[in-house]
A and B are shown apart, each in its own frame.
Chain A
Amino acid sequence: MSSPDRLSRREFAGRVAAGAAPLTSIAAFESAGAQEKKVAEPKPPSPVDRQLELIQQQYSDKRLDAAALAEIREDLETQAARSLVLSAFRLTNGDEPGYVVRAWRKDE
């Protein structure tokens, strides 16, 4: 079984990213013509870049230095990879999460 259990975060993110490459390539091909007409527009921030920026805003701390941000970026990449794996898993509408929730009232 190709479980990602034995992979490091980077390996795992890399492999999932590699799996997603064909989709990225199609999108890139479709937009290639439009991009040729434009002159060197700045590359838009990736979702991970945006998340990293949000974390810096929400949990601002001077100790969030370059090394710390690199660690957090790695975690964000892992999460993004996991997200793809979870979304790709086939679930039916009837597959419930299995929460344990009970109505509650105080004993009288």
Chain B
Amino acid sequence: MPLPLELAFASIRTLGQGLRAKQFSAVELAAFFLDRLEKFGPRFNAVVTVTRERALVEAAQADRDLAGGNDRGPLHGIPYGAKDLLATRGIPTTWGAAPYRTRVIDDDATVIRRLREAGAVLAGELSMVEIAGGMGYKQANASFNGPGLNPWNEKSWSGGSSSGSGSAVSAGLVPFAIGSETSGSIMTPAGYCGVTGLRPTYGRVSRQGAMALCWTMDKLGPICRTADDCGLVANAIAGHDPLDETSVSRQYRYPPEPLPARPFKLALLREPARKLQPDVQANFEAALKVLEGFASFGEVGLPDFPYSAVVGTIIGSEMSAAFEGMLTSGQVWELAAPEDRVGAHAAMLIPAKDYINACRIRKLIQKALDDKFAGFDAVVVPTVATVAPPIDREFRAYQGDFRGTGLTVAANAAGIPAMTVPNGFGERGLPTGLSFVGRAFDENRLITVAAAYQEATNWHQRHPDL
């Protein structure tokens, strides 16, 4: 008997309860999501490879383990998708780029291995912007398998660079996905697609086996249906890895003990967003009213630093070292977006002093933001200033005068965590997002505050009609 449609949009805990109550097996659950990936994945350009064979083997093992009393925890038997920059044994890892469309890195990234050990089932490699957007794409058609389309409005972008991770969770093709963020690539697609995303602290999750765009800024994190789900996934993937020397030894446990106490202490930016799309502004104000039910508010100012110059210089410099081979080999000319084909050339000439000065300023940014945010559980801002742009328009042309707070760039420079949750809808029926940004290693505070918001609202339970 086919599984009910509502399972496509169920939380990890709900699916786990169903498995343990023997309402369905892990193999049946995997087959259910594999069918959805195959049916809807191409419609949204969300999937590169459906890993049916591997998924059914892993799911059968999960069933055997559960029957034998070996319960691996909340992710046991739960299917998921991985951004296609994570190495997966025996499966192409394309980095979203035509030159690598058949390349197999015959190893599992640490995150993939840890999820397997937690009993999760890899169901698909999900689409992404080519080279994680490092070449400076300006419009949505920047992946070898087409632009990521938004399940809420298929003429709109899914966001990037974790395009498929956002759209696949939004469309109920997988219960959760792994994305990556150097500067915005988890938060933006999660926000645009109306799902919940966690960008962990830099170093919290090993990047071993992940494509390096910028060694000193790349982070991996989950995109899920709920804040609680993000905590469950983070619990499985966080922790020191000797294969990634930037991974930290500081322990991570979810659920946290003790829970951060209510009322939560939240902060608004003293200099708020310059100009938000009217729906984004209205939904943000409505969300603040909900938060007032269990939080007090203060204000912080964003310290005065050249965030954009720092982040642009660091990403450009490290990208130029990581991908010079694409220029010398001529592979850049195979990229989908015309602007990406020439997006790395100038970066080859960034002076060493600029990179080092940017790194020096970054260290000051880290201290200054930590000082500002101390005493608060989170800073609350809109995730993005607009809803997702139409698929056929350049991002900047659509954004016009609408501009966000700049906290995304600042927080990525500092390597501090953030979480986005859906908080309503805007033009063309597209979701808007609310972000909580915290101090380094404060993921559990962010999750707890976001979970409280989700207890008081039902935006995260809405899903597109497919």
Contacts and interface: CB of A to CB of B under 8 A. Distances in A.
A18 B366 CA distance: 30
A6 B357 contact: no
Nearest to A83: B354
Interface string B343-365: 10111111101101111111110
B349 A97 contact: no
A79 B358 contact: no
Interface in A1-60: 1, 3-8, 12, 51, 54-55, 58-59
Interface string B287-319: 000000000000001101111111011001000
Contact of A91 (B339, B357, B406, B409): B357
B243 to A, nearest CB: 13
B406 A86 contact: no
A65 B221 CA distance: 40
Contact of B356 (A5, A64, A72, A97): A97
A54 B357 CA distance: 24
Contacts of B354: 79, 82-83, 86-87
Interface in A66-92: 68, 71-72, 75-76, 78-79, 81-83, 85-87, 89, 91
B333 interface: yes
Interface string B409-428: 10000000000000000000
B199 to A, nearest CB: 17
B16 interface: no
A20 B178 CA distance: 44
A78 B316 CA distance: 11
A6 B410 CA distance: 12
A98 B312 contact: no
Given A4-B309, A55-B349, A64 B357 contact: no
B328 interface: yes
B contact residues, range: 35 or more
Given A6-B403, A75-B346, A82 B313 contact: yes
A99 B302 contact: no
A71 B342 contact: yes
B76 interface: no
A88 to B, nearest CB: 8
B306 A89 contact: yes
Contact of B406 (A6, A63, A85): A6
B346 A1 contact: no
Contacts of B347: 75, 79
Given A82-B309, A89-B306, A59 B348 contact: yes
B465 interface: no
Given A6-B403, A91-B357, A61 B333 contact: yes
A108 interface: no
A71 B359 contact: no
Contacts of B262: none
Given A59-B328, A71-B339, A99 B409 contact: no
B211 to A, nearest CB: 19
Contact of B313 (A8, A68, A86): A86
A89 to B, nearest CB: 6
A4 B308 contact: yes
Nearest to A16: B309
Contact of A55 (B271, B274, B345, B362): B345
Nearest to A104: B245
A85 B362 CA distance: 14
Contact of A5 (B308, B316, B343, B396): B308
- Which has the most chain B C-beta neighbours within 10 Å: A4, A6, A8, A75? A6
B311 to A, nearest CB: 9
A83 B304 CA distance: 17
A72 B342 contact: yes
Contacts of A106: none
Contact of B360 (A54, A59, A95): A95
Closest 7 CB pairs of A and B: A75-B346, A97-B359, A6-B403, A5-B406, A98-B363, A82-B309, A85-B309
24 contacts: A1-B271, A1-B301, A1-B304, A59-B345, A63-B341, A68-B342, A72-B346, A75-B343, A75-B346, A76-B346, A76-B349, A79-B349, A82-B308, A82-B309, A82-B312, A82-B354, A83-B354, A86-B309, A86-B313, A89-B305, A89-B306, A95-B360, A95-B361, A95-B363
Interface of B: 136, 216, 245-246, 271, 274, 301-302, 304-310, 312-313, 316, 327-328, 330, 333, 339, 341-343, 345-351, 353-354, 356-364, 366, 396, 403-404, 406, 409
